[in-house]
């Protein structure tokens, strides 16, 4: 069994200072590019390769620093392509006032639209507190998304209580839909619920034409996955 590598502070800071940023296509039912999702990757010569553990071990302040770097990048991409970028934000920002204010202040610097995708690494704070932040962000041309629905701590209260504009359906919910029709049944009802609540959607992790066709057949319209494009360095877009 492989053990996690413990980085020195110098190594951690090297990785943070040399992060590589990638973009992945988000497309419509015809495969047309609608927007990008920005992704952070460790530098090629990083002393650790476990991306998930590395980002999971960041302090809340460091996580927000990475998101703010991506917000700045999204401005360059929007100016060059006219396309919006989605940016992952650790939901720790929702419980710390100083981090919330940093995020608001950064978004106020720009007028271009962006999407903030909140990753649910811990339980969501009370809805009234979260929705108050979402209200302020939306006043600054920000769209709010929930990332990886179907994993973590999220449940039906996400639909009932929290003011997300977009729900991103995790790849685990579509994996195996060709042989497990009950998954399609569940997805169909999820889509009906999102439509009734006027929420947008993105289906993540689409990797085959068969998946793509089945998901389109039940009404999904926005997709992301290796079928359409593997993440590419941001420099290629710029």
Average pLDDT, consecutive stretches of 10 residues, N- to C-terminus, the chain (238 residues):
66 91 97 97 86 84 93 96 95 88 91 90 86 93 91 74 94 90 92 94 96 96 96 94
- The structure's pTM equals 0.92
Integer Cα distance of 211 and 146 in angstroms: 22
Q: Which two tokens stand for residue 212?
A: 């793509």
Integer Cα distance of 195 and 201 in angstroms: 9
Integer Cα distance of 165 and 89 in angstroms: 15
Full DSSP string of 29-82: TT--EEEEEEEEE--TT-S---HHHHHHTS-HHHHHHHHHHHHHHHHHHHHHH-
Full DSSP string of 86-144: EEEEEGGGGT-HHHHHHHHHHHHT--S-EEEEEE-SSPPPPHHHHHHHHHHHHTTTEEE
- The pLDDT assigned to 1 comes to 38
Integer Cα distance of 199 and 227 in angstroms: 24
- The pLDDT assigned to 3 comes to 45
Architecture of domain 9-237: Alpha-Beta Barrel (3.20)
* Strands 33-41 and 222-224, bridge-based pairing: unpaired
- The pLDDT assigned to 17 comes to 92
- The pLDDT assigned to 170 comes to 92
- The pLDDT assigned to 153 comes to 64
DSSP bridge pairs for 151:
149
DSSP bridge pairs for 22:
39, 233
Integer Cα distance of 159 and 237 in angstroms: 34
Is the separation of the CB atoms in 7 and 15 below 8 Å? yes
Residue 25's Cα: distance from chain center in Å? 12
Integer Cα distance of 224 and 206 in angstroms: 6
Is the separation of the CB atoms in 212 and 227 below 8 Å? yes
- The pLDDT assigned to 70 comes to 96
Is the separation of the CB atoms in 238 and 32 below 8 Å? no
């Amino acid at each position: 069994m492989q053990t996690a590598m413990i980085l020195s502070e110098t190594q951690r800071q090297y990785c943070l200072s040399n992060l590589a940023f990638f973009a992945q296509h988000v497309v419509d039912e015809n495969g047309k590019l609608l927007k990008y999702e920005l992704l952070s990757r460790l530098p090629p010569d990083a002393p650790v390769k476990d991306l998930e553990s590395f980002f999971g071990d960041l302090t809340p302040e460091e996580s927000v620093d990475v998101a703010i770097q991506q917000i700045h990048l999204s401005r360059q991409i929007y100016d060059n392509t006219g396309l919006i970028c989605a940016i992952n934000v650790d939901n720790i920002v929702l419980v710390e006032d100083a981090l919330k204010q940093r995020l608001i202040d950064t978004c106020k610097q720009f007028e271009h639209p962006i999407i903030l995708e909140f990753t649910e690494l811990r339980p969501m704070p009370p809805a009234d507190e979260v929705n108050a932040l979402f209200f302020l962000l939306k006043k600054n041309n920000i769209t709010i998304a929930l990332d990886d629905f179907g994993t973590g701590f999220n449940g039906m209260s996400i639909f009932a209580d929290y003011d997300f504009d977009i729900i991103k359906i995790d790849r685990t919910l579509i994996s195996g839909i060709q042989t497990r029709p009950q998954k399609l049944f569940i997805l169909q009802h999820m889509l009906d619920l999102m439509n009734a609540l006027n929420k947008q959607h993105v289906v993540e992790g689409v990797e085959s034409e068969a998946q793509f066709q089945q998901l389109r057949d039940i009404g999904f319209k926005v997709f992301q996955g290796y079928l359409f494009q593997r993440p590419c360095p941001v420099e290629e877009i710029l």
